[in-house]
Amino acid sequence: MSDYSMINLLAFTWFCIVWVGYASFAKHQARKGVNLSSALNRQRLNWMEQVIGREHRIMDAALIANLERNTSFLASTSILVLAGLLTALGIVGSIDSVLQSFPFYEVKENSTFWVQVKILMLVVIYVYAFFALTWSMRQYGFASVMIGSAPSPEEAQLQPILKEKYIYASAKVIDMAGHAYNYGLRAYYFSLAILPWFVSPWLFIASSTLVVIVLYMREFHSRPYHVIHDYINYIDSCESKKDSPDETNQ
């Protein structure tokens, strides 16, 4: 095996490690409640609690439809990208010739083979993105059914266990839809990391690392996360103040 092939295999291995590693890390942190996904799930629980208190749920159905529409856009886009990538497989030689015209591109004997591999990698990623996003769309459809079948305020007041079960189940369905959407969106991010690979495997390693850093900063240290987290802390502090007089009287 040539040195060029070894470097490409190393870059591809690093790409898989950072993607799978970050996905596992983010999932683990979400269970601990320290990232944007967990903060949003807390708000989904509050949302479903508000749904039960409303007679008319038109606004809630519109919100779910908007989330589903955003997911549908990316799913449709992935099909268009796949069509372009499959077309590119038929003109690999021309693509390699264009890349060789770059002054910083190193011409190798098996460069055409690796161009095919890179395009096929993009095909696999966008197929995965399509399945993840369409599954997210279906789950948002399930959430619409859950909202439509929400108990009335009177029923919820008479059956508190039913209310708790509904809040948890509905929020969980929306949370799972959100996770599937995140998986598909994450695939878009990592597909962009492959583009520098067409020029250099070392750039591919750097771009994969950069994508993980961007995802980490947005998930754990972005301003939206801090704003939502501070709001949740404020709600918790208000609730604890309401409970403290009862505890004192006891």
% helix, strand, coil for the chain, step of 5: 85, 0, 15
CA distance 43 to 164: 15
Is-contact 206 20, C-beta < 8 A? no
Tens digit of pLDDT for each residue in 29-86? 888 877 888 888 889 999 999 999 888 888 999 999 999 999 999 999 999 999 999 9
Give the C-alpha distances (Å, rounded to integers) separating 71 from 5, 125, 135.
37, 16, 10
What average pLDDT does range 135-147 have in this prediction?
94
Tens digit of pLDDT for each residue in 166-213? 999 999 999 999 999 999 999 999 999 999 998 888 999 999 999 999
Q: Which two tokens stand for residue 157?
A: 């007041």
Nearest to 124 by CA among 174, 194, 178: 194
Domain ranges for the chain: 56-190, 200-242
Mean pLDDT of the chain: 88
CA distance 212 to 22: 7
Q: Which two tokens stand for residue 92?
A: 């690999």
| Sole residue written with tokens 């083979």 | 113
Nearest to 45 by CA among 164, 180, 176: 164
Helix ranges, 149-222 (H): 153-158, 160-194, 201-220
pLDDT of residue 248: 46
Q: Which residues contact 119 (CB under 8 A, 6 or more apart)?
A: 85, 88, 89, 92, 95
Least confident stretch, 50-54, 109-113, 129-133, 154-158: 109-113
Q: Is the pTM of this model over 0.85?
A: yes
